C-alpha cells in the first residue's frame, strides 16, 4: 500500500496529537521533525506527520517550510494532504493559517479546501462559524489573553477573511445534518460561487464523520485532530487503507528506564512528587548549575549508580529541575528567565544524551521545551507513534544509529497526564 495521508503540522505537540489520533483510528503513523533531507523508509507506514514550527514564525517562513513539507510528502506519494493547526485556530491577522492554506492550494492547483478545527471530545466545537471552547466563545475562553496569538474574535469566517484575499464561506450545521449528499452539494455550490476556504460547523463525532466522507477525495483538507480521527474510516471505505489490528505496535523495548523533567507545570509537579515516593530522584537547580560543573557531575554519578550498577532490572530513575513557582521565581530573579531555562535545558539534555549512549532504552521527558532540547540533543528526526499512555501522550520509538533496538520515548507536555504518569508509562510499555 502507498502512503495515504501526508500531514503538515504547525507545531511539535500538535503533530504528536494528530499522529496519536491517527494511530488510534488505525493508521500506522510516523512523525518526522522538520522536512527530511531525503527519503525515509516508509515500508509499513500509512500516514506521515511533518512537525514544523510555523505557528508563530514570520509568514514567509511558514509558507516556505509548509511548501517544502508538501513537496516532500508528494514525493513520498501521499494521496491526501492535511494542514494541521490548533483546535483553537491559533493565528493572527497576519497569518499563518490563511496564507499557508493559500500557498498549499496554489501548489496543488486546487480550488477549495475545508477548515475544520473542531475537536468535540476536547470541548472544541464550531456552530454558525463560531468557535467554542466548552460553553464559552473562543474570545471569552482565556485564549483572548494568549501571549503570542490572542484570539479576540470567535467568528472564524471573519477571522480567516482577515488572513486571505480569497473568499471565505460557511458550511453550516444545517447542511451537515441533512446528510453526506447535501453536504457535498453545498460544498460544490460554494465552490461554484468562488469560495476557496470553507469554515465548517461541527458539534460532534457524527458531524466530523459526515465531513470526512464529503472531503475524503479533496487534495488538501485543513483542521485539527478531530478531522484526523474521522478520515481513516473513509480511507478504509475507499480501499486505500488496510485493516490493521494494532497500528500502534512497537518493537519490544530494552535498556534502562529514565525520566527527565524540566516542566514546572502543576500536573508535572504532582507527578514528580508521586514518583519520588517510591523511586530514586535527583533534583537539579539553575542556581547551582550556574556555579560550575559540580551539580551536573553529581547528577550523572547518581543516575549511573541507580540505572546501571545493580543486578537485574533497575527501577526507573528521575532527574528533575521541576520546582515550585517560588523557587523558579527566585532563580529567574537572579539569572533571568531565559538564562535559567537554558541552563536547565542544557544540563538535562546533556545528561540524557550521555545516559542514552550508556544504555538507557526507555525515556520519559516532561515539558514541551525540555522535550525539544532532549530530542535535538539526541539527534532524533523521526518518531514511530505507539500506544497512548494518557490522552495526547503516546509512546514513540526512534531509531538509534548504533543500537539494534530503537529508543522508546514518551514526550509529555507539562499539563498532561495523571498523577501516576511516570511509573504507569513504564508499565504499559511493550
Which residue ranges make up the site for ligand ADP (CB under 6 A)? 262-265, 268, 285-286, 321-323, 327-328, 331-332, 340-341, 344-345, 367-370, 413-414
Q: Which is nearer to ligand ADP, 120 or 341 (CB)?
A: 341
Q: Which is nearer to ligand ADP, 21 or 271 (CB)?
A: 271
Cα Rg of the chain (Å, integer)? 22
Q: How far is the CB of 350 from ligand ADP (least distance, A)?
A: 13
Q: Which is nearer to ligand ADP, 235 or 416 (CB)?
A: 416
Q: Which is nearer to ligand ADP, 245 or 338 (CB)?
A: 338
Which residue number has the CB closest to ligand ADP?
414
Question: 147-163: b or e for each residue (b if 16 or more CB lie within 10 Å)?
Answer: eebebebbbbbebbbeb
Q: Which is nearer to ligand ADP, 63 or 284 (CB)?
A: 284
Q: 258 phi and psi, to 5 degrees?
A: -130, 140
With H, G, I as helix, E, B as strand and everything else as coil, classify residue 428.
helix
Distances (CA, A) of 110 to 63, 105, 161, 163: 17, 5, 19, 19
Q: How far is the CB of 145 from ligand ADP (least distance, A)?
A: 16
Q: Which of 393, 425, 416 has its CA nearest to residue 253?
A: 425
Residues whose CB is less than 8 angstroms from the CB of residue 282 and which lie 6 or more positions away in sequence, other chains included: 298, 299, 302, 303, 317, 318, 319, 320
DSSP string, 252-278: PP-SEEEEEE---SHHHHHHHHHHHTS
Q: How far is the CB of 373 from ligand ADP (least distance, A)?
A: 8
The bridge status of strand 29-33 relative to strand 382-390 is: antiparallel
Q: How far is the CB of 417 from ligand ADP (least distance, A)?
A: 11
DSSP string, 341-384: HHHHHHHHHHHHHHHHHTTEEEEEEESHHHHHHHHHHTT--EEE
Round to whole Å and give the CA distance between 352 and 377. 8
Cβ(263)–Cβ(367) under 8 Å? Answer: yes
Cβ(425)–Cβ(410) under 8 Å? Answer: yes
Q: Which is nearer to ligand ADP, 52 or 97 (CB)?
A: 52
Q: Which is nearer to ligand ADP, 66 or 349 (CB)?
A: 349
Residues whose CB is less than 8 angstroms from the CB of residue 77 and which lie 6 or more positions away in sequence, other chains included: 2, 3
Cβ(233)–Cβ(249) under 8 Å? Answer: no
Q: How far is the CB of 329 from ligand ADP (least distance, A)?
A: 8
Q: Which is nearer to ligand ADP, 313 or 326 (CB)?
A: 326
Q: Which is nearer to ligand ADP, 76 or 290 (CB)?
A: 290
Q: How far is the CB of 57 from ligand ADP (least distance, A)?
A: 18
Q: Which residue has the cell 508538501?
A: 70
Q: How far is the CB of 334 from ligand ADP (least distance, A)?
A: 10
Q: What is the DSSP letter of 197?
A: E
Q: How far is the CB of 58 from ligand ADP (least distance, A)?
A: 22
Q: Which is nearer to ligand ADP, 161 or 349 (CB)?
A: 349
Q: Which is nearer to ligand ADP, 317 or 331 (CB)?
A: 331
A 10 A CB-CB count for 251 gives 14
Sign for the pseudo-dihedral over CA of 122, 123, 127, 129: negative
Alpha helices in 93-155 (DSSP H): 97-108
Q: How far is the CB of 411 from ligand ADP (least distance, A)?
A: 10
Q: How far is the CB of 327 from ligand ADP (least distance, A)?
A: 6
Amino acid at each position: 500500500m502507498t502512503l495515504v495521508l501526508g500531514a503538515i503540522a504547525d507545531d511539535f505537540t500538535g503533530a504528536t496529537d494528530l499522529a496519536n489520533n491517527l494511530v488510534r483510528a488505525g493508521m500506522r503513523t510516523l512523525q518526522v521533525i522538520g522536512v527530511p533531507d531525503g527519503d525515509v523508509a516508509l515500508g509499513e507506514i500509512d500516514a506521515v506527520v511533518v512537525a514544523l514550527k510555523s505557528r508563530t514564525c514570520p509568514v514567509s517562513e511558514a509558507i516556505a517550510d509548509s511548501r517544502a513539507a508538501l513537496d516532500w510528502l508528494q514525493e513520498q506519494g501521499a494521496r491526501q494532504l492535511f494542514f494541521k493547526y490548533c483546535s483553537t485556530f491559533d493565528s493572527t491577522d497576519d497569518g499563518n493559517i490563511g496564507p499557508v492554506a493559500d500557498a498549499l492550494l496554489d501548489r496543488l492547483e486546487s480550488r477549495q479546501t475545508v477548515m475544520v478545527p473542531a475537536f468535540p471530545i476536547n470541548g472544541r466545537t464550531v456552530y454558525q462559524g463560531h468557535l467554542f471552547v466548552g460553553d464559552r466563545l473562543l474570545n471569552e475562553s482565556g485564549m483572548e489573553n494568549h501571549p503570542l496569538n490572542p484570539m479576540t474574535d470567535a467568528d472564524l469566517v471573519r477571522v480567516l477573511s482577515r488572513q486571505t484575499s480569497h473568499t471565505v464561506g460557511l458550511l453550516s450545521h444545517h447542511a451537515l445534518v441533512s446528510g453526506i449528499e447535501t453536504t457535498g452539494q453545498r460544498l460544490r455550490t460554494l465552490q461554484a460561487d468562488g469560495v476557496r476556504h470553507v469554515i465548517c460547523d461541527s458539534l460532534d463525532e457524527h458531524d466530523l464523520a459526515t465531513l470526512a466522507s464529503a472531503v475524503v477525495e479533496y487534495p488538501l483538507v485543513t483542521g485539527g485532530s478531530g478531522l484526523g480521527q474521522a478520515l481513516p474510516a473513509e480511507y478504509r471505505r475507499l480501499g486505500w487503507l488496510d485493516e490493521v489490528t494494532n497500528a500502534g505496535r512497537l518493537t519490544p523495548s530494552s535498556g534502562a528506564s529514565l525520566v527527565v523533567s524540566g516542566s514546572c507545570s502543576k500536573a508535572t509537579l504532582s507527578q514528580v512528587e508521586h514518583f519520588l515516593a517510591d523511586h530514586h530522584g535527583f533534583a537539579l537547580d539553575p542556581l547551582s548549575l550556574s556555579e560550575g560543573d559540580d551539580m551536573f557531575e553529581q547528577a550523572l554519578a547518581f543516575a549511573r549508580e541507580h540505572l546501571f550498577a545493580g543486578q537485574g532490572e533497575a527501577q526507573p530513575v528521575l532527574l528533575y529541575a521541576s520546582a515550585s513557582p517560588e523557587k523558579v521565581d527566585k532563580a529567574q530573579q537572579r539569572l533571568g528567565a531565559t538564562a535559567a531555562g537554558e541552563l536547565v535545558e542544557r544540563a538535562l539534555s546533556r545528561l540524557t544524551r550521555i545516559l542514552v549512549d550508556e544504555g538507557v532504552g526507555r525515556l520519559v521527558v516532561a515539558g514541551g521545551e525540555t522535550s525539544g532540547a532532549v530530542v535535538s540533543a539526541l539527534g532524533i528526526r523521526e518518531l514511530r507513534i505507539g500506544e497512548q499512555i494518557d490522552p495526547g501522550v503516546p509512546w514513540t520509538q526512534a531509531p538509534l544509529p548504533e543500537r539494534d533496538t530503537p529508543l522508546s520515548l514518551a514526550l509529555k507536555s507539562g499539563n498532561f497526564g495523571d498523577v501516576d504518569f511516570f511509573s504507569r508509562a513504564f508499565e504499559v510499555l511493550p
